[in-house]
Amino acid sequence: MRCPKCGCVEDKVVDSRSSKDGLAIRRRRQCLKCSQRYTTYEEIERGNLMVIKDGGARERFSREKLESGIKVASQKRPVSADSIDQMIREVVNELYDEFDGEVPSKAIGGKVMTKLKKLDGVAYVRFASVYWRFDDAAEFLEAVQKFGTRDDTATIQLPGF
């Protein structure tokens, strides 16, 4: 690893432990030249997933795009960064476990919706407004009203979706 302070490539591992979910190794390193300490993570590189969009177009799965959508929906909400990171890890792991090579975009959105509903209702409705592509305020209000009366964690199903 290259030291972030001086750029030296010689370091020693000071501490090493498994991450919370067991899918990565966290290592504390110390530069042998300047003594700067820094953290690195080692993860298994999984194969590439291709996302099949509604129109049939395909694009490479982007964890960053998933993270961005969830963070936008959770903005200014009492949702911790750790909760978001854990949710992203869970969604990504489920996708790799359930799909081999190609995953429909609806499956990704559905998994996020289910987890957001449990985490924060407002973030759930915000994400839903983009995911369901509401055409007008009436559809949005219908979703909010349905959310407010549901007891279970099933995703709200609107006509045509």
- C-alpha to C-alpha distance for 37 and 26, rounded to whole angstroms: 13
Q: pLDDT tens digits, residue range 99-121?
A: 989 999 999 999 999 999 999 98
For 7-34, what is each residue's pLDDT tens digit?
999 999 999 999 767 778 999 999 999 9
Provide the whole-model pTM: 0.65
Q: For residue 159, count other CB atoms closer than 10 A to its CB.
A: 6
pLDDT value of position 114: 92
Opening angle at CA 116, ends 79 and 86, nearest 5? 65
Strand 24-31 vs strand 37-43: parallel, antiparallel, or unpaired?
A: antiparallel
Please name the residue that has the structure tokens 């219908």.
Answer: 142
pLDDT tens, position by position, 127-139: 888 877 777 788 7
